[in-house]
Amino acid sequence: MISRKTRFAALAGSVALLVSSCGREELPQNTLDPQGPVAEQLDNLIDPVFIAAGFVFVLVNALILIAAVKFRRKSDDEIPKQVHGHAALEIAWTAAPAVLLAVIGVFTLGVIFDIDERPAGANSMEVRVVGHQWWWEFAYDDQGFTTANELHIPIDTKVSLELQSVDVVHSFWPPKLAGKLDVVPGRTNHMVVEADTPGTYYGQCAEFCGLSHANMYLRVIAHEPADFDAWVRANRDEPRDAATLTGAAGRGASLFRAKGCASCHAVTGYAAGDFGPDLSHLQQREVFAGAMFELNDRNLRRWLRDPPAEKPGSLMPNLDLTEEEITDLIAYLNTLD
Ligand code: CUA
C-alpha cells in the first residue's frame, strides 16, 4: 500500500508539472500568447470560457464527491432514500447550462463574424496560400511573385489569406497570430492574420495530410513596412540570367534542366515547373522543404542526396546525384537571390 504522504506528493507533483506547462515564455506556438488583434480576439474568448468551464468542472465534481460521501450506504441492509423526479432541480440544471451556453454562443458568433470580415483599403493586403504535400506556397499575386513556407507580412496590416489546396485537406495554423482553418481542395477559405510587432512567428499544418504532415511547418515573418517593401522588391527582381553563369554555378544551371529539376520548380526566366516550390528567390528564405531545414549548403546537400530519406514521402525524388553534381547545383541555387 502506498502511503498517504507518497500519494499526496505524487498528486502535488503532477499538478505542479501541469501548471508549469502553462507558462507563457519560450513557447513558440502558444495560442494563449496572442501577438496580434485577431489572435487577441480569440484569446479574449478562450479566457472567460475557460473560467466558466473551470467553475462548472469544480462545481460538478464537488457535488459528485459530496453526494458520494454523504449519501453512501452505511450498512449492508440499508436502502437509501428513493427519490424520483424533482421538478425544481431538473428545471434548474436544464436552464442554467442553456443560459450559459447561449451567452457563450452570442460572444462566439460575434467573434466568428468579426474575424471573417474581409479587410479592405489601406493597411490591408492579400496573399494566396496553397497547401501542398508537404509545404506551403505563398502567392503574392498583386505583387507578382510566389514564395514558399515563409509568409512575410508588414506589421499593423490586416493580411487576407485565401486558402487553397492542390491535393488533400491541410490546415493553416499560426497560433500567435490567428486561429486554425482547414485548407480544402476545390474551395477557397478565408482568414485574416495581423501582427503587432516585427518578428518570426511559428506555425504548422494542423490537419493530418499524409506521411510528412508533421514536417509541414510554416513561418510568418512580420516586418516594419519599409523592410517589407525591401523584401517585396528583392522578390520581384529578375534572377541572374543563367546563361551568364560560369564555373560550378553554370554547370549547376545546366544540371537543373538536365536532371529534371526545371520540370517541377520555377525560376523566373529559366524554368517553369509549377509542382514544387518556386525557387526564383530561394536565398530570400531562412528555411526550405516545408520549413523543416534551415537554408544552408550543408542542409541542401543532405536534402539533394536523398529527399525522401530526410522527409518521409517527399514528392521530390532521389535523383541519384553525385557529390560533384550536388556541389554544382548548390552553387547554382546560391545565385538565386
Ligand atoms: Cu498538411 Cu498536415
211-262 tens-digit pLDDT = 999 999 999 999 999 999 999 999 998 888 888 999 999 999 999 999 999 9
Is the CB of residue 203 below 6 angstroms from any atom belonging to ligand 1?
Answer: no
Query: Does ligand 1 have an atom closer than 6 angstroms to the CB of 131?
Result: yes
**290: Cβ below 6 Å to ligand 1?**
no
Ligand 1 atom index nearest CA of 216: 1
Amino acid 120: pLDDT: 83
Q: Is 129 in the pocket of ligand 1 (CB under 6 A)?
A: no
What is the separation of C-alpha 178 from the centre of its chain, rounded to a whole number of angstroms? 9
- What pLDDT score does 25 carry? 58
pLDDT of res. 22: 59
CB 291 less than 6 A from any atom of ligand 1: no
What pLDDT is recorded for position 23? 54
Give the number of the atom of ligand 1 that is nearest the alpha carbon of residue 207.
2
Percentage of the chain modeled with pLDDT above 70 = 96
Cβ–ligand 1 contact at 170 (below 6 Å): yes
Residue reference for cell 530561394: 282
In angstroms, rounded to a whole number, what is the distance separating the alpha carbons of residues 163 and 116? 13
Instruction: Look at ligand 1, atom 1, and give the residue with the nearest C-alpha.
Output: 170
Q: Are 296 and 287 in contact (CB under 8 A)?
A: no
Say if residues 196 and 36 touch (Cβ distance below 8 Å): yes
C-beta of 213 in contact with ligand 1 (< 6 A)? yes
- Cβ 150 under 6 angstroms from ligand 1: no
With contact defined as beta carbons under 8 Å apart, do 216 and 181 qualify?
no
Q: What is the pLDDT of residues 140-165, one digit of tens each?
A: 999 999 999 999 999 999 999 999 99
Residue 281 CB–ligand 1 contact under 6 Å: no
* Complete DSSP assignment for 42-58: HHHHHHHHHHHHHHHHH
Compute, in angstroms, the gap from residue 310 CA to the centroid of ligand 1: 17
Distance in Å, CA 165 to ligand 1 centroid: 10
Q: Which three cell numbers stand for residue 213?
A: 504532415
Q: Which atom of ligand 1 is nearest to the CA of 131?
A: 1
The span from the first CA to the last CA of the chain, in angstroms, equals: 68
Quick check: 300 and 311 in contact, CB under 8 A?
no
Given a contact cutoff of 8 angstroms between Cβ atoms, the answer to whether 289 and 187 are in contact is no
Establish how many alpha carbons lie within 13 A of residue 301's alpha carbon, considering only the half-sphere containing its beta carbon.
10
178 Cβ partners below 8 Å, 6+ apart?
36, 38, 39, 42, 115, 191, 192, 193, 194
Alpha helices in 71-162 (DSSP H): 87-116
What pairing do the DSSP bridges indicate for beta strands 266-267 and 217-223? unpaired
DSSP one-letter string for 268-285: TTTEE--SS---TTGGG-
The answer, yes or no, to whether any atom of ligand 1 lies below 6 A from the CB of 209, is yes
Q: Which atom of ligand 1 is nearest to the CA of 168?
A: 1
- 216 CB within 6 A, ligand 1: yes
What separation in Å is there between the alpha carbon of 204 and the centre of ligand 1? 8
Which is the closest atom of ligand 1 to the Cα of 134?
1
Residue among 162, 160, 197, 190 nearest 176 (CA): 197
E-strand stretches of 194-242:
199-204, 217-223
Q: What is the pLDDT of residue 85?
A: 86
Q: What is the chain's percent helix, strand, coil content, to nearest 5?
A: 40, 20, 40
- Residue 269's nearest CA partner among 280, 253, 254 is 280
Whole-structure pTM value? 0.85
Q: Which residues of the chain have pLDDT under 70?
A: 1-2, 8, 17-25
H-helix segments, the chain:
4-20, 37-70, 87-116, 225-236, 247-258, 261-264, 297-305, 307-310, 323-333
Angle at 274 between CA 276 and CA 232, to 5 degrees: 85
Q: How much is the mean pLDDT over the chain?
A: 91
